[in-house]
Amino acid sequence: MSSDIPCFKLVETEKTLAFLDINPLSRGHALVIPKFHGEKLTDIPDEHLSDILIPKPNPEEGLVIGWPQQATDMDKLKALFEDIKSKV
């Protein structure tokens, strides 16, 4: 990896780089990336992903990671869609 673009590096290993996001969603938002370049995630060897991906406990359970979902109000969702679409 080149150091052409400066960053606030948090952690660097042989296969991984973690740094603060320049457009954070929240305080401390960090990006953790593999150093191996691949066009798609499936192009990156497993040994380069083991530092950044959480293995699932088993095929049935999955990761069980998520955020609380809000109830869907289709009218509000449609209004939001129309508002966003009108600005694009």
Strands 9-12 and 30-34: unpaired
Residue with tokens 């869907």: 72
Which of 37 and 58 is assigned the larger pLDDT?
A: 37
Polymer length of the chain: 88
- For residue 19, what pLDDT band results from cuts at 50, 70 and 90? very high
Domain ranges of the chain: 9-87
Q: Is the pLDDT of residue 76 over 70?
A: yes
User: Which residues face 19 on adjacent strands?
Assistant: 9, 31
Classify residue 70 by its DSSP letter. Answer: P
Q: Indicate if the pLDDT at residue 69 is higher than 70.
A: no
Q: How far apart are CA 74 and CA 80, in angstroms?
A: 10
Report residue 34: phi and psi, to 5°. Answer: -80, 150
Token duo for residue 16: 């991984």
Q: What is the mean pLDDT of residues 8-26?
A: 89
| Residue 34 pLDDT grade (very low, low, confident, very high; cuts 50, 70, 90) | very high
Match 């990761």 to its residue by tokens: 63
How far is it, in rounded angstroms, from Cα 8 to Cα 47? 25
* pTM greater than 0.85 (yes/no): no
